[in-house]
Chain A
Amino acid sequence: MMEFFENNTLYIVLIISLIIWIGIAYYLWRIDNRLKKSEAMLIVKNEKKN
């Protein structure tokens, strides 16, 4: 098992980095979508007020 990790270190680091990046990208994407909804709601509220 240890030998496998020693021989494939860079592949393991790459896979972990890719997983972290996918996680960050998904998180940013979700914030972006939620922000879009909040911005749209604010616009509707302001229109109703006026």
Chain B
Amino acid sequence: MGIAVVGGIILGLFPKIHIPKPKWWKIGLIILLAIDLILIFLPNTIANIPYSNYLAERGISENFNLKIEKSVIEKIENNRIYIINLSYPISASKSDINKISSNEKTIINITFLPESKLFKLNKIVSNIVPLEYPYLVELKERVRILLLHVPLAWNSVVAYLLSMIFAIFYLRKRETYYDILAVSSAGIGVLYTILATLTGMIWAKFNWGSFWNWDPRETSIFLLLIIYFAYFALRSAVDNPETKARLSAVYSIIAFIAVPFLIFILPRITTGLHPGAKGEGTAGPVIGSGGMMNFDLMITFALSMFCFSLLFFWILNLKIRTELVTNKLIENN
């Protein structure tokens, strides 16, 4: 994970922040992000046997996938498959039973029927990608949001950090170049924050019932957006380019002090709906008891972090170069 994050930043800054990216770099990113999208959407969400028992004990009648291996089949009787450690048998047609018993591993879609006290086999599921994501009744297919929303939010923090670093450089050297870097970085940071908020809002609509709930995480991201909108308001309010750059550099440094508090600390010390909040219990098999993410999810998550970092640096590179060209044209005229 660390390699993906650090590698994304190092490769993103290659060859230099304002120098055009080489062709191989851009083609590589386009292919990698396409692979990342395939890995985000194609793998199945699969429950394990203890979680299937947990759902059955609570009488939850939902369609979900379960992977069964040939070795765990205890017996087959009266069109019912008995699985070792699975509390109730699975009822299936003869042809499906033949398919399951002939394959080493099969992914099946089942539903628990509380009145009959058995699982009903809906269909045999094909697995195109050799990755499987954990099934959690509170999240279902929505678990995939992690692979889009978190990299966007993380890269917005990187953007604000870079903006602060360039602001410090500007105050030390007083070169317009560093002001352009700082403002471009903050701009892309705001874009990524808006995208993270939008993806989160869509997820919240289907998970919590409404687009906006004033959850601590939502409130903190709203405050962060307001802080950086004020940064651009400040810049547009000052006409003198030097005063504008100096004031906004000081503001950028002060604004960044709020970023770790609003993104990493506040939503974790307060109770809320968002995963990771104090007392929030829906992390389940996504984040295990040891605090480790499911391994298959981790692979795609690392790739997503890497790709979204590279995309951020490409957009940043274009923005900086546009500003530099505009600046030169103004100087020439």
B-chain residues with CB within 8 Å of residue A29 when the two chains form the complex: 26
A36 to B322: give the CA distance in the assembly, Å. 10
Distance in Å: Cβ of A14 to nearest Cβ of chain B: 4
A21 x B34 contact (CB < 8 A)? yes
A16 to B254: give the CA distance in the assembly, Å. 40
Let me know if B315 is at the binding interface, CB within 8 A.
Answer: yes
Q: Of B38, B40, B42, B318, which one neighbours A28 at CB under 8 angstroms?
A: B318
Assess A42 versus B329: contact at CB under 8 Å? Given A18-B34, A21-B34: yes
**How big is chain B's contact interface, by range?**
20 to 34
Let me know if A25 is at the binding interface, CB within 8 A.
Answer: yes
B38 x A14 contact (CB < 8 A)? yes
Assess A32 versus B41: contact at CB under 8 Å? Given A10-B141, A42-B328: no
A-chain residues with CB within 8 Å of residue B292 when the two chains form the complex: none
B38 x A35 contact (CB < 8 A)? no
A35 x B322 contact (CB < 8 A)? yes
Let me know if B120 is at the binding interface, CB within 8 A.
Answer: no
Interface size for A (C-beta < 8 A) is: 22
Assess A32 versus B318: contact at CB under 8 Å? Given A39-B325, A42-B329: yes
Q: Of B26, B315, B322, B325, which one neighbours A42 at CB under 8 angstroms?
A: B325
Across the interface, name the chain B residue whose C-beta is closest to A10: B41
Assess A32 versus B33: contact at CB under 8 Å? Given A10-B42, A14-B38: no
Let me know if B321 is at the binding interface, CB within 8 A.
Answer: yes
Let me know if B160 is at the binding interface, CB within 8 A.
Answer: no
28 A-B residue contacts at CB 8 Å?
A9-B141, A10-B41, A10-B42, A10-B141, A11-B42, A13-B41, A14-B40, A14-B41, A17-B37, A17-B40, A18-B38, A21-B30, A21-B34, A28-B26, A28-B318, A29-B26, A32-B20, A35-B20, A35-B321, A35-B322, A39-B321, A39-B325, A42-B325, A42-B328, A42-B329, A42-B332, A45-B332, A49-B332
Binding site for A on B (CB under 8 A): 20-21, 26, 29-30, 33-34, 37-38, 40-42, 141, 314-315, 318, 321-322, 325, 328-329, 332
List the 9 shortest-distance A-B pairs measured between CB atoms, nearest first. A14-B41, A25-B30, A17-B37, A35-B321, A10-B41, A38-B325, A31-B318, A42-B328, A13-B41
